[in-house]
Structure 1
Amino acid sequence: MSVSKSTESIDMEKKSSEASIISIILSAVKKASVVGIIYFAGYMQWSVAWFIGPIVLFVLRDQWKKSSDNRRTIAKVAALSSEKDVVLARLNDLPAWIIKQVWPNVNHYVREIVRDSIQPVLKESLEKYKLHGFKFERIILGTVPFRIGGVKVYDKNIDRNEIVMDLDIFYAGDCDISFYLSGMKGGIRDFQLHGMLRVVMKPLITSIPLVGGLQVFFLNNPDIDFDLVGIADVLDMPGLSDILRRIVIETVASMMVLPNKFPIKLSDEVEAVELKAPEPEGVLRVHVVEARHLMKKDISVLGKGKSDPYAVLTVGAQEFKTKVIDNTVDPKWDFWCEFQILESNGQQLYIHLWDKDDTGDDENLGSLAFYETRGWFWVTLEQAKHGMVHLRLTWLTLSKNYEDLETVLYETQMLRASNLNTALLTIFLDSAKNLPQARMSTKPDPYAVLKVGNKTQQTNVLMRTIHPVWEQGFTFLVTNPENDSLFLSIMDHKTSTEIGQLIYKIKNICNKTNLEVSKEPFSLLKAGPDSKITWSMHLRILKKIADEPMLGDAPRVLARTDSNISTPSTADSQVSSQTGKEKEQLPSGDAKQIDSEDVQEIIEDSSVSVVSSVPPSYTLEGLLHRTPSVTSSAGEAGLGRIQMTLRYSVQRQRLIVVVHKVIIPDPYVKLYLLPERAKDSKRKTQVIKDNCNPIFDESFEYVLNQIELGTKQLEVTVGTQKQLFYSSSNILGQVIIDLGKLNLTQPYNVWFDLQPEIDHD
């Protein structure tokens, strides 16, 4: 061995010596070549430019080539990048300096709007709470302009005669606003506003400024917050400060939150009705059927009581509230309401459940945001440990055919709900002429009040005129156009006396072309012979889509089948092998029936989708992806087993956990996300009493992005309310599921073996 090593070292020394000799020879040749070139150039008497010129050309060529390669690389990266990455990369290039440059002009414009439009509304609203004399003294927005966090311009599903963009607006400036209220001076500091502002430029015209007008509005209520100074010691108390904040939010909503739009006319070529009386896209009818397994918030003598739940539904500035159901966690409301939808692309249905408290401090029972417009759903509440809401949504289109009214009236009667509507009336109140004077010395301060059914709306007050021009649009939902009428009263603001009146029967529109009245003058009652009102009206019938299911048509499907027992290792293969097998219906006593929406929510890949009908040819295994609900195995640790379905929705960024079944007396299941095991990640099923073979089928959701999902574990604890004689604990077993090791883009349904409880102490 030593001999071979010495031989190798000798060979390496020879090779290194040979390499050094070759390098010396090459170096000598290079130096001789340089000397020879210089000698040859001198011998030929060449100028120095022969050397400098090529060097300059080579340098320029290299720089041009690098620049060209960079352009191609950037273009390739941009083409392969996602739209989101491109937008985020350009956010820093937004022209903030432009906003800062025009901010003083914006300040002046906003000051006029606040004094002319917002101040009267605030004053009237505060007077309802016996707070009189509200008046702004100083309105200065400060030097810090609002910031645009992002811009989205729509190029699909829009009219070619409009430009639509969304702006993520955030304002947290150094404003200085002072006011008087009940003889005391107060102020607002640190005013903050954040919301998605939509700007619609329409119609597009051929002359400068190329856009006829703007419609500016928030899709949903923006987040508003501020601090009070001056009379803060009086108003910044629980209750009174909330009143002022709520009034400010409602005032902003009444002006700039859908269905309210703030129109800006830019060209005289455009009729005001096009900007100020837009027709909705449709009407969303919502049926809040019931809720189940809500949290218990009330405290009773014996411990935790139940709740007094009610629901608040909002779309933009529109809000409805259900009645309060006392002392229950499974309320049945059977509540109907209807929302006008002006922008289906962006508006959301928000549902917030509250526990009514006699002290006025209602407690949160959970909430959800909904994008769908059709179908029946069981939806899991967010910001709550547990609870679900049963909804039915119906999308109503706007028909110009008056003959559709008969069918619509029949359908609403079948629903047996007294507050449903069959038509939508859009009114554009243009102007009035030759109004009488309510006072001898001065002209009136007229405003118009419109009423259809039990809903009333009014125009702005115009000062000192007998020829007011309002140019305002209104929409009313109509119960029955055959019987309902539109009542118009023109009032004098100073004296509160009526100076004109008109009653118009809505069924008169049925004889008009396309059910439209275009800028027709009508004579006023209780006014002079020359007093007239000019308005335009559109009537639309609320027509249901043809394939929308009728009440009672909601399909039911079996949620259990008999087959072989599955194990965790074979669950996925058994699910796939079940496809195509013939279904076996169980006797009615053994089968648990659920709505098709329950099934869909278990397996939905993106957002909760519509399942209005399920053809009978659908296999149950294909819908539910559910393994057998009967097991005779006690599990690896002899503590039993639990059946669950896990799924991750990429689009909704949610982990969906469905607890199906355990086999123990009076059981419940509790969930935590690890490693934090935070209280807000706790979820708990209801307790099913006096049943050793219960089926929960309860769904829970966690808001997680895909990166977080890979770092989390799900702790599943099974407990019982029955105290077992051989154990001091009600906990029967646990399962710790490593979510990062599972492919949850497809439903993962399996029986898990329960293990002994982990001591967290």
Structure 2
Amino acid sequence: MRAEEPCAPGAPSAPGAQRAQGPELRLSSQLLPELCTFVVRVLFYLGPVYLAGYLGLSITWLLLGALLWMWWRRNRRGKLGRLAAAFEFLDNEREFISRELRGQHLPAWIHFPDVERVEWANKIISQTWPYLSMIMESKFREKLEPKIREKSIHLRTFTFTKLYFGQKCPRVNGVKAHTNTCNRRRVTVDLQICYIGDCEISVELQKIQAGVNGIQLQGTLRVILEPLLVDKPFVGAVTVFFLQKPHLQINWTGLTNLLDAPGINDMSDSLLEDLIAAHLVLPNRVTVPVEKGLDLTNLRFPLPCVSAQY
């Protein structure tokens, strides 16, 4: 038999050889980035160990730092998981409710609650939310940002670098209207507010970045329209407040991401809830006048109404 002659240096190789080399090239191109990523991660994890040994620190500090870091990661993942579950429930509310109520025999009175659903209001809010977001963005930049800068000389460089209020709009889960025979010049409405937002708000102060990426707020907001007038604007003032301290959860970003650290996370959310309670939770209230020249003293500090019975 004749021996196979070697191919010339410039001659094209056989098709079978090309097919054999193709998968090897693709495999090597995939393994190289993974290998580089693995090396970088190993150096990142071993860096604190080398630094601790170089500085002569005890291994106890290294273990304590690792435990704190693992605790922070676990807390962070739990918060992101709760936020994702809230988004999923918001998108598939009807399916979740039907799954929970399947196979249960509910009494007749539960179909006639005093709290009414207002899906038509949620549809209106959803349709107008992009335009409301643009209005709030302009108010933040034109009104709020200059006021913050005027508070202190250290806040002169305060800037909103990003204002995105997201696609998830607030929802009204229920409405309860109260009738008051003692004062017929008043309309009182309780709104069950639920806001699970994907907003992104970033600020910058002296090259320090901070911000918020996701907010959850739930509570019952009472709205009082008082006094009712016989001429426009038909309402003298609007008073709003929460009946109880609302539930608040914030996902921080940037430098404020440190507030998600274990032990600090609950404290930061609690401080914000207390701040809201100091201004918007009963007996505190916010009264906005609609009619000019209206005395707001009785509205901000109302006297209890006692109806006499004969």
TM-score, length of structure 1 as denominator length: 0.23
The alpha-carbon distance between structure 1 residues 255 and 212, as it changes in their structure 2 partners (threshold 3 A), is same
CA shift digits 1:198-236 (9 cap, x unpaired): 000011001123212211111121100011122355342
Report the Cα offset of residue 194 of structure 1: 0.2
> 1:271 and 2:294 equivalent?
yes
Partner residue of 2:84?
none
CA distance in 2, matches of 1:92, 1:279: 31
The alpha-carbon distance between structure 1 residues 174 and 234, as it changes in their structure 2 partners (threshold 3 A), is closer
Q: Which of these residues, 204, 211, 214, is aligned with residue 187 of structure 1?
A: 211
Report the Cα offset of residue 243 of structure 1: 5.2
Q: Which of these residues, 45, 66, 86, is aligned with residue 112 of structure 2?
A: 86
CA shift digits 1:533-589 (9 cap, x unpaired): xxxxxxxxxxxxxxxxxxxxxxxxxxxxxxxxxxxxxxxxxxxxxxxxxxxxxxxxx
The alpha-carbon distance between structure 1 residues 157 and 135, as it changes in their structure 2 partners (threshold 3 A), is farther
The alpha-carbon distance between structure 1 residues 231 and 93, as it changes in their structure 2 partners (threshold 3 A), is closer
- Match of 2:117, SS? helix
Report the Cα offset of residue 278 of structure 1: 2.0
> 1:100 and 2:126 equivalent?
yes
Partner residue of 1:236?
260
Query: Per residue, is there more helix in 1 or in 2?
Result: 2
- Match of 1:238, SS? coil
Map 1:56-135; keep pairs closer than 5 Å: 82=109, 85-87=111-113, 91=117, 93-108=119-134, 110-111=136-137, 112=139, 116=144, 120=148
Map 1:615-654; keep pairs closer than 5 Å: none
CA distance in 2, matches of 1:89, 1:222: 18
Amino acid at match of 2:231: S
Amino acid at match of 2:125: I
- How many aligned residue pairs are there? 194
- Match of 1:207, SS? coil
CA shift digits 1:482-519 (9 cap, x unpaired): xxxxxxxxxxxxxxxxxxxxxxxxxxxxxxxxxxxxxx
Map 1:378-417; keep pairs closer than 5 Å: none
The alpha-carbon distance between structure 1 residues 240 and 149, as it changes in their structure 2 partners (threshold 3 A), is same
The alpha-carbon distance between structure 1 residues 182 and 241, as it changes in their structure 2 partners (threshold 3 A), is farther
> 1:206 and 2:230 equivalent?
yes
Amino acid at match of 1:173: G
Amino acid at match of 2:300: P
The alpha-carbon distance between structure 1 residues 137 and 245, as it changes in their structure 2 partners (threshold 3 A), is farther
CA distance in 2, matches of 1:280, 1:89: 26
Q: Which runs of 5+ in 2 are unaligned?
A: 1-107
- Structure 2 contact 116–176 (Cα < 8 Å) conserved: no
Map 1:132-531; keep pairs closer than 5 Å: 136-156=160-180, 158-180=182-204, 183-231=207-255, 234-242=258-266, 244-268=268-292, 271-274=294-297, 278-281=300-303
Amino acid at match of 2:301: E
The alpha-carbon distance between structure 1 residues 165 and 228, as it changes in their structure 2 partners (threshold 3 A), is same
The alpha-carbon distance between structure 1 residues 169 and 257, as it changes in their structure 2 partners (threshold 3 A), is same
CA distance in 2, matches of 1:207, 1:243: 48
- Match of 2:112, SS? helix
- Structure 2 contact 114–176 (Cα < 8 Å) conserved: no
Partner residue of 2:7?
none
CA distance in 1, matches of 2:189, 2:274: 24
The alpha-carbon distance between structure 1 residues 236 and 90, as it changes in their structure 2 partners (threshold 3 A), is closer
- Match of 1:173, SS? strand
CA distance in 2, matches of 1:245, 1:181: 22
- Match of 1:214, SS? strand
Report the Cα offset of residue 139 of structure 1: 3.2
- Structure 2 contact 215–248 (Cα < 8 Å) conserved: yes
Report the Cα offset of residue 164 of structure 1: 0.2
CA distance in 2, matches of 1:137, 1:260: 33
CA distance in 2, matches of 1:103, 1:182: 32
Amino acid at match of 1:143: Q
Partner residue of 2:32?
none
Report the Cα offset of residue 87 of structure 1: 4.1
Amino acid at match of 1:279: F
CA distance in 2, matches of 1:149, 1:234: 33
CA shift digits 1:83-107 (9 cap, x unpaired): x523489626442121123324543
The alpha-carbon distance between structure 1 residues 139 and 217, as it changes in their structure 2 partners (threshold 3 A), is farther
Amino acid at match of 1:271: L
Amino acid at match of 1:254: A
CA distance in 1, matches of 2:224, 2:170: 19
- Structure 2 contact 163–201 (Cα < 8 Å) conserved: yes
Amino acid at match of 2:124: I
Amino acid at match of 1:191: I
- Structure 2 contact 190–223 (Cα < 8 Å) conserved: yes
- Match of 2:183, SS? coil
Report the Cα offset of residue 259 of structure 1: 2.9
Report the Cα offset of residue 157 of structure 1: 5.3
Q: Which runs of 5+ in 1 are unaligned?
A: 1-80, 283-343, 345-396, 398-761
Amino acid at match of 1:137: T
- Structure 2 contact 237–288 (Cα < 8 Å) conserved: yes
- Match of 2:194, SS? strand
Report the Cα offset of residue 261 of structure 1: 2.0
- Match of 1:103, SS? helix
Partner residue of 1:513?
none
- Structure 2 contact 219–245 (Cα < 8 Å) conserved: yes
Kindly indicate whether structure 1 or structure 2 has the higher relative contact order, using CA contacts under 8 Å at least 6 residues apart: 2
The alpha-carbon distance between structure 1 residues 92 and 151, as it changes in their structure 2 partners (threshold 3 A), is closer
Report the Cα offset of residue 185 of structure 1: 0.9
Partner residue of 2:6?
none
- Match of 2:223, SS? strand
- Match of 1:98, SS? helix
Report the Cα offset of residue 265 of structure 1: 2.4
- Match of 1:220, SS? coil
Q: CA RMSD in A?
A: 3.8
- Structure 2 contact 118–175 (Cα < 8 Å) conserved: no
